[in-house]
Chains A and B, each alone.
Chain A
Amino acid sequence: MIEIRNICKSFEGREVLKDISTIFEKGKTNLIIGQSGSGKTVLLKSIVGLIEIECGEILFDERDTRLMNFKEQKLLRQEIGMVFQNGALFDSLTVEQNVRFPMDMFTSMTMKEKTLRLNFCLDRVNIKNSNQLYPAEISGGMRKRVAIARAIALNPKYLFCDEPNSGLDPVTSILIDALIKEITAEFDITTVINTHDMNSVMEIGDKILFISEGLKCWEGNNTQIFNTRNKKLNAFVFASPFSKKFKEIRQMEDDE
């Protein structure tokens, strides 16, 4: 479980996060949604420690990050897996080397153990016969899956994904969503996903936090989101004609 309390952050006097508090639950896919520029990425990067917050607290299973020394912070980071927007795979390493990198760096596993774990992770994300390819030689969807494999290589307690579906076709997006959901349940990890993909919201939103202009506007789950009266959220969720139609059909079904 990750708890954030009254987080604030500003850049050159412009407030990007304003007093945000919430709890991301263990074993669930927690989604942060909001328009582009609403502060989603800043919030996610603040939680993982890439951006320093100005006020507030971040607690990983009741461990306050502000009270941790350098060594404890480093150990905490080894419990975190993160999937970046474009995968952020190391260009100079092959698929296999990318996934093995955290094991090589932080464990004293034997080569045989590493190979077993590597094969398990790649199988889990359904990557086959691509071990020796470089990131530039694989598709966007595969890069995301390799990034997920690398993120789970050290059995993380917390998984963060920054817009895992951006730039992917709807079919691949659904596969990536399903994969993240399965992994979250299977390994009982706390997953936090940053997205503005409404399909993800509907499919995997166990918990949803909606932020707008740096403020927490709403929180709930993927069932509650359709019945909310929050104007900003409705404007965001039902922005496209497709989702408007979807809502109408759903309301008609409810009325019947």
Chain B
Amino acid sequence: MGVIYHIGQYFLLMVRVFKKPEKNSMYIHQLVLEVEKLGINSVGIVAIISVFMGGIITLQLTYNMVSPLMPNYIIGLGNRDTLILEFSSTVLSLMLAGKVGSNIASELGSMRVTEQIDSMEIMGVNSASYLILPKIIAVVFMSPLLFIISVTCGIFGGLITGPLSGVVTVATYITGITTMFVPFYVYFSIIKTFVFGFLIATVPAYLGYFVQGGALEVGRASTKAVVNTSILILFFDLVLTQLLFK
């Protein structure tokens, strides 16, 4: 089926998702579970990856950029801006597309093939809204939080790696991370994480919700969800960078 069909079907699903909930208390309960499952449970992996990436960026900057013509504090500054502008928003979202996106697609796909979604529909529950809306809210609002955690951990990673490997002193590194700070970079990246969060929740949800067949198709939907979400994240990164920096 064509791209136009999928885009149409995706927007029709979104219309159903954003309808008034049957019972707010049930949705809030579901939201709390999703925040824990999709957001809180990702904090660990986000922190670990960010610490290592912060360290790696610090070393790469040292070995590739520092010259007698450049001050050493460029290491801290470069690490901070790389993390804020691209790593903690885009690269981290790509990673979340893999972790959270495949989780959403396989969960909804399994529910579809085992008729659990049909069973909800028969009861009169708006299954699209009940199952997808809490996931969207959880991912969209947890993404900026994960972004902040990632930036903090990445800078901390650089702070450990730089002085430990002897490429920069603690004082110079701190001077770097506090020099020429542009607050707009943070706003820009937070806007990006909202958009990416929406994509991470909705694209896999769409692919999982409409799975037809069995376990094999659920697996395929999960893979497709990660691939499509990643491509869309990069596409919107390009669009948002052009729009917001123009």
Question: Residues of A at under 8 Å CB distance from B?
Answer: 45, 48-50, 74-78, 80, 82, 84-86, 88-91, 101-102, 104-106, 160
Contact = CB atoms under 8 A, between A and B. Distances in A.
B26 A105 contact: yes
Contact of A50 (B110, B122, B124): B122
Given A104-B26, A105-B22, A50 B121 contact: yes
B123 A48 contact: no
A102 B119 CA distance: 11
Contacts of A106: 22-23, 123-124
Interface in B79-115: 110-111, 114-115
A163 B116 CA distance: 16
B115 A105 contact: no
A63 to B, nearest CB: 15
A95 B22 CA distance: 22
B36 interface: no
Given A104-B26, A105-B26, A77 B122 contact: yes
B191 interface: no
B122 A74 contact: no
Contacts of B119: 82, 84, 88, 90
A85 B26 contact: no
B125 interface: yes
A77 B222 CA distance: 31
Nearest to B119: A88
A104 B23 CA distance: 8
Contacts of B121: 49-50, 77
Nearest to B29: A104
A48 B115 CA distance: 14
Contacts of A80: 122-123
B115 A84 contact: yes
Given A105-B22, A105-B23, A105-B26, A50 B118 contact: yes
Contacts of B26: 104-105
B118 A88 contact: yes
Nearest to B33: A92
A102 B123 contact: yes
User: Interface residues of B toward A: which range?
Assistant: 10 to 19
Contacts of B122: 48-50, 77, 80, 82, 160
A62 B219 CA distance: 44
A214 B225 CA distance: 37
Nearest to A82: B122
B115 to A, nearest CB: 4
B124 A85 contact: no
Nearest to A147: B119
Contacts of B124: 74-78, 106
Contacts of A49: 121-122
A160 B121 CA distance: 14
25 contacts: A49-B121, A50-B121, A50-B122, A74-B124, A77-B121, A80-B122, A82-B119, A82-B122, A84-B118, A85-B115, A88-B114, A88-B116, A90-B116, A91-B110, A91-B114, A91-B116, A101-B123, A102-B123, A104-B26, A105-B22, A105-B26, A105-B125, A106-B23, A106-B123, A160-B122
Contacts of A75: 124
B33 to A, nearest CB: 8
A83 B147 CA distance: 45
A106 B118 CA distance: 17
Contacts of B125: 105
B123 A88 contact: no
A85 B122 CA distance: 14
Nearest to B121: A50
B23 to A, nearest CB: 6
Contacts of A77: 121-124
Given A77-B121, A86-B114, 20 more contacts: A45-B118, A48-B122, A49-B121, A50-B118, A50-B122, A76-B124, A80-B122, A80-B123, A84-B119, A85-B115, A86-B115, A88-B115, A88-B116, A88-B118, A91-B114, A91-B116, A101-B123, A104-B23, A104-B26, A160-B122
B200 to A, nearest CB: 21
Interface string B113-154: 011101101111100000000000000000000000000000
